[in-house]
Amino acid sequence: MLLTALLGLSILGAVRAQVTVYGQIPYGQTSAAFATSTRDPNATPTATTNNAYDETRLIPPTPPEDYSLAFTLNLQAANTSVPNLSILQHGTFYGFSIEMSVVTQLMGKNSSHIKVPFLNLMGLLQQRSGGVHIRVGGNTQDFAVYVDELENGEATAKEKSDLKNPTLTPAVLYTKELFHLAASISSLVNVRWYFGIPFNDTNWRLQIAEHSQAILGDNLLGLQGGNEPDYYLSHGHRQEGYGPFDYFGEFADLINAIDANPNIPVKNMLIGPSLASGPWSPEMMWETDFINAYKDNLVAITMEHYPSNNCFVQFGVGSFVDPQRTFPQFLTHQSALNLVEPYRHTSNLAREAERPFIMFETNSATCGGLPGISDSFGAALWALDYGLTMAATNFSGALLHVGGQNVYYNPFTAPPTNQTAFNQWTVGAVYYATLITAEIFGRSNQSQIVDTTNNGLLTPSYAIYDRGQLSKVALFNFMDDPSGAHDITGTITVEGGQVPPEVHVKYFEAESVAVKTNLTWAGQTLGNKFKVDGRLKGDLNITIIPCDQNANVCRVPVRAPSFALVHLNDPTKVDEDDLPITFQTTAFTKTINTATVDPEVLATSNGQSGKERSKLGSTSFGSVSGAQGLHALLPGVTVLLAMMGGAGMVMMALTR
């Protein structure tokens, strides 16, 4: 049985085609990022026992009695003299780091079987930011082995032998299909990719570099050389005494190997040093002069870091981190400030070297995340604040890590293989942080952000400039108080200009920082666990708040807990440079896994009339010849052309 998805697209309005994408076919169980599993004793059993669906609900911290509930932000109308204003940011700021071993679970088994919910989740980000950056890698990249072919045409597979690497992640086998899969995705949604060159030893296995460059072309952003090398010694990948200078030497060796390889035409797209900032501090690495020595070969300076860990529970390593006691540490701006502090100098070094500085892999807690924290609304507020603080500290991007079924922190999780018939996808709270960040920085590539927090660490705030003008204000309330006694009011005044007659506010809300259900962004939700097809559901709800132009103030209430994005201009008014891409899903599949065509959703999507742009009635599934161009681009993909209007549309149909 095959679920066939017909997918239409309107990227840049140029190519209007439908591509057959197969989805949700049960296939051999691919590996989870972590080999061992420890169930939380308090979790309620569900259809599955995996951590990605854990129901632990922690107790929110009690808000302080005497917290100031009102504050004023004096903001400059123009970006000309704003202290500590960031570099220009892109809407692609938050992307994903997908563990190599779970690629087929999340993206599809090969280039002709792409998962539709994945495309839709990426499409939502593209609508807002113009694209998505994804890194495929992680611990599993270092031991990856190229093979010509895998059973059933899969792009990757878990190594079957007893050869296991010391971090308990099974070695990944991959074929060229991995890059064809990525290329097919890029032809449908504007995803661009980072891959990593295996670095477990210096007998360089360069096939990832060769095939990714050949197959992905401009959609390849860079190639990582070494993943958390500061842990190589303790993970047993290197001999005693291995330090920053050894890694520095190996990096030179890698550069030489690439220079000597005629199948790697682009020599200068490396990424490093990707320290975990565990055993080695960034400053220890900079003592080697890494940046200056390799600047010409580097496209980005990278680090990887998680603020907490669950390694004791997962692997018996370190000491127990108690989620309930740790929860409050995530619910304050102090967390974001602490996380960027070790990198302030590095961020300046990168800027001087004119290279982007990227947090290449991060999430709430390594070794799988923390039950009750990593997938809570609180974690979403944390990730959003952390992302904005990184942007304000001149990071150019950050990638949230995505693991398998057995981790708590995933931004998105495909249903377990044997549940695809009756369950849909699950979106983790932190996905909303990527969606909102994409919206905050938008598509102009000329957004700047500054941390304007002045009312205490439980209520951080930011001002966002776009094309030189104040355009948005972001207000957080980390406090949790259903009584309303800790709702706050942020007052905005504009210096060197005037507040607009009204502001358009989008709220990110849930009942409590502890919940994992019913999260809404401007009234819309992706759905609770096992209910996500990658479309936002519900009516868009933008709150219009009149300002007092005489007093030059706008007062914006923010309930406890929630986040408010205050648009100084009407966000539903689309300017010519900023045409949104509509990308909708409709699924016709068996049993519960059914979504039906909803013209209302199409009509209201992104504040724009889908009725005008998409000619639903004329949707045609007829196979049309003359698709050779796309066919060549997407090997193995059946390409069907359909004459559709501007709006893209994903259709899933059941065939046998």
Ligand X SMILES: *[C@@H]1O[C@H](CO)[C@@H](O)[C@H](O)[C@H]1NC(C)=O
Residue of 57, 76, 90, 98 lying closest to 181 (CA atoms): 98
Output 93 or 327, the one with its CB closest to ligand X: 93
Phi, psi of 153 (to 5 degrees): 65, 25
Which span (12-20, 85-93, 425-433, 588-596) binds ligand X, by CB under 6 A?
Answer: 85-93
Residue of 15, 11, 2 lying closest to 642 (CA atoms): 15
Q: Which of 90, 355, 401, 529 binds ligand X (CB under 6 A)?
A: 90
Q: Which of 261, 329, 454, 543 binds ligand X (CB under 6 A)?
A: 543
56: CB partners within 8 A, 6+ apart: 40, 42, 43, 323, 371, 372
Q: Is residue 85 near ligand X by the rule CB under 6 A?
A: yes
Q: How far is the CB of 528 from ligand X (least distance, A)?
A: 7
**Considering only residues 213-272, where is the footprint of ligand X by CB under 6 A?**
none
Q: Which of 5, 32, 104, 109 binds ligand X (CB under 6 A)?
A: 109
Output 62 or 152, the one with its CB closest to ligand X: 152
Q: Which of 518, 549, 618, 623 binds ligand X (CB under 6 A)?
A: 518
Tokens of 557: 């209430």
User: If binding means CB under 6 A, how many residues of this protein chain bind ligand X?
Assistant: 47
**Considering only residues 424-453, where is the footprint of ligand X by CB under 6 A?**
443-446, 448
Output 365 or 375, the one with its CB closest to ligand X: 375
Output 96 or 309, the one with its CB closest to ligand X: 96
Looking at the DSSP bridge assignments, the partners of residue 502 are 546
Residue of 437, 473, 451 lying closest to 564 (CA atoms): 473
Q: Is residue 420 near ligand X by the rule CB under 6 A?
A: no
Looking at the DSSP bridge assignments, the partners of residue 258 are none
Q: Is residue 112 near ligand X by the rule CB under 6 A?
A: yes
Q: How far is the CB of 283 from ligand X (least distance, A)?
A: 16
Output 300 or 365, the one with its CB closest to ligand X: 300
CA distance 231 to 238: 9
Q: Is residue 514 near ligand X by the rule CB under 6 A?
A: no
Q: Is residue 517 near ligand X by the rule CB under 6 A?
A: yes
User: How far are the Cα atoms of 182, 189, 205, 412, 584 from residue 7, in angstroms, in the given order?
Assistant: 16, 11, 36, 21, 9
CA distance 462 to 391: 11
Q: How far is the CB of 320 from ligand X (least distance, A)?
A: 27
Q: Is residue 44 near ligand X by the rule CB under 6 A?
A: no
Output 47 or 299, the one with its CB closest to ligand X: 47
Q: How far is the CB of 47 from ligand X (least distance, A)?
A: 6
Q: How far is the CB of 325 from ligand X (least distance, A)?
A: 24
Q: Which helix (H) or strand (E) holds 583?
A: strand 583-587
Contact 488, 69 (CB under 8 A): yes
Phi, psi of 387 (to 5 degrees): -60, -45
CA distance 166 to 464: 44
Q: Is residue 153 near ligand X by the rule CB under 6 A?
A: yes
Specify burial of residue 592 (Cβ count, 10 A radius: 0-12, 13-18, 19+): exposed
Q: Which of 15, 47, 266, 616 binds ligand X (CB under 6 A)?
A: 47
Three-class secondary structure of residue 199 per DSSP: coil
Which span (293-301, 456-464, 486-494, 509-517) binds ligand X, by CB under 6 A?
Answer: 509-517
Which span (11-19, 80-88, 377-385, 607-615) binds ligand X, by CB under 6 A?
Answer: 80-88
**Considering only residues 374-393, where is the footprint of ligand X by CB under 6 A?**
393
**Considering only residues 447-506, where is the footprint of ligand X by CB under 6 A?**
448, 467-468
Residue of 476, 467, 539, 563 lying closest to 79 (CA atoms): 467
Tokens of 33: 């990022």
Q: Is residue 509 near ligand X by the rule CB under 6 A?
A: yes
Q: Is residue 111 near ligand X by the rule CB under 6 A?
A: yes
Which span (76-84, 118-126, 494-502, 613-621) binds ligand X, by CB under 6 A?
Answer: 76-84
Specify burial of residue 611 (Cβ count, 10 A radius: 0-12, 13-18, 19+): middle
Residue recorded with tokens 């907490």: 308
Looking at the DSSP bridge assignments, the partners of residue 507 are 564
Q: Is residue 626 near ligand X by the rule CB under 6 A?
A: no
Q: Is residue 636 near ligand X by the rule CB under 6 A?
A: yes
Contact 2, 95 (CB under 8 A): no
Which span (60-68, 345-353, 489-497, 566-574) binds ligand X, by CB under 6 A?
Answer: 345-353
Q: Is residue 352 near ligand X by the rule CB under 6 A?
A: no
Which span (264-272, 311-319, 347-355, 454-462) binds ligand X, by CB under 6 A?
Answer: 347-355
Q: How far is the CB of 542 from ligand X (least distance, A)?
A: 8
Q: Where are the alpha helices (DSSP H) in 88-137?
A: 103-106, 116-129
Output 11 or 365, the one with its CB closest to ligand X: 11
Q: How far is the CB of 468 from ligand X (least distance, A)?
A: 3
Residue of 330, 444, 321 lying closest to 379 (CA atoms): 330
Phi, psi of 237 (to 5 degrees): -90, -15
575: CB partners within 8 A, 6+ apart: none
Contacts with ligand X, residue ranges (CB under 6 A):
47, 79-80, 83-87, 90, 109-113, 130, 143, 145, 152-153, 171, 177, 200-201, 347-348, 351, 393-394, 416, 418-419, 443-446, 448, 467-468, 507, 509, 511, 517-518, 523, 541, 543, 636
